[in-house]
Amino acid sequence: MALPATLMSRNRLLAALPSDLLAELWPQLASVELSLRQVLHKPGEPIEAVYFPETGWVSMLAYMEDGDAAEVGLVGREGFVGLPVLLGADHDDIEAMVQAPGTALRMDARTFRQELQRLPALHNLLLRYALIHHGQVVRTAACNGRHHIDQRLARWLLMAHDRAEGDEFPMTHEFMSMMLGVRRAGVTVSAGTLQKAGHIQYGRGQITITDRPGLESVACECYGVVRHSHDSLFGLGEGSRDVYRP
């Protein structure tokens, strides 16, 4: 059965499903707006829904006792928010917060569990994504522990650029320091270095990627490793940005 054009999803996971299967799922999906800093699920609280982003992206944040947080994962249109539900849990100790506003397709958690049992192809695809997202989390931890802040910031900016709608997106030093788990002063110096080299322009809470190849030359190997894993999931060749963009 051909899928009507009106049912096409910009989310790569949903778009990777056979058209007849997506048509079955579609009535269970609701289009929603994701606002800046909106929390999709909080640590320790029941996860009421899963989200398949179509634009924008969501940060997965680990909080410390003193209230500080660090990003441990990033989810855009290549994935979905709600992995604990897929893996049989009803809550997480990680917060899912919208870092770049956009849109998503939302499904009630109870309905999602039912659809996973009814549709093995959906279950298998999402389990494959879960493994790749786990790899991103592991790489983030290793990168933050071993690589220079300039490399880490370049890696993160490339990840954000992949998921953005253009070369410019909102970002503050406060947010970047939280994403990288470093002091704001360190991010200010590193961002200034990248701007002086001509790789980015930064001001008034906006970042513009002006030289992506240059930024890639600064980033550590962690960006390429995670990027290759996502490309492989969707059967894309090396260097393609289609995994993140339509």
Model pLDDT for residues 47-65, shown as the tens digit of each residue:
999 999 999 999 999 988 8
| Domain presence at residue 241 | no
In this prediction, residue 242 has a pLDDT band, given cuts at 50, 70 and 90, of low
- pLDDT (0 to 100) of residue 239: 46
Give yes or no for residue 221 having a pLDDT over 90: yes
Residues 87-97 have a mean pLDDT of 95
| Domain presence at residue 225 | no
As beta bridge partners, residue 58 has 75, 98
Same domain, 120 and 42: yes
Same domain, 129 and 38: yes
- pLDDT (0 to 100) of residue 17: 93
Residue 59 in contact with residue 167, Cβ under 8 Å? no
- pLDDT (0 to 100) of residue 66: 86
Same domain, 17 and 134: yes
Same domain, 53 and 171: no
Model pLDDT for residues 130-151, shown as the tens digit of each residue:
999 999 999 988 988 888 999 9
In this prediction, residue 7 has a pLDDT band, given cuts at 50, 70 and 90, of low
The domain spanning residue 175 has which CATH number? 1.10.10.10
**Domain carrying residue 38:** 5-143
Same domain, 172 and 136: no
Same domain, 27 and 136: yes
SS3 per-residue string spanning 66-87: CCCEEEEEEECCCCCECHHHHC
Residue 239 to residue 126: CA distance in whole angstroms:
23
Residue written as tokens 């009803």? 90
| Domain presence at residue 132 | yes
Average pLDDT, the chain: 89
Number of structural domains, the chain? 2
The domain spanning residue 115 has which CATH number? 2.60.120.10
Model pLDDT for residues 98-124, shown as the tens digit of each residue:
999 999 999 999 999 999 999 999 999
Residue 22 in contact with residue 99, Cβ under 8 Å? no
Residue written as tokens 């989310």? 11
The residues near 175 (Cβ < 8 Å, ≥ 6 apart) are: 99
Same domain, 123 and 16: yes
Same domain, 173 and 57: no
| Domain presence at residue 63 | yes
| Domain presence at residue 162 | yes
Same domain, 185 and 99: no
Model pLDDT for residues 193-215, shown as the tens digit of each residue:
999 999 999 888 889 999 999 99
- pLDDT (0 to 100) of residue 57: 95
Model pLDDT for residues 28-46, shown as the tens digit of each residue:
999 999 999 999 999 999 9
Burial class (CB in 10 A: 0-12, 13-18, 19+), 11: buried
| Domain presence at residue 229 | no
Same domain, 112 and 28: yes
Same domain, 26 and 127: yes
Same domain, 122 and 168: no
Burial readout 97-106 (b: 16 or more C-beta within 10 A, e: otherwise): bbbbebbbbb
**DSSP letter at 90?**
S
- pLDDT (0 to 100) of residue 144: 83
| Domain presence at residue 105 | yes
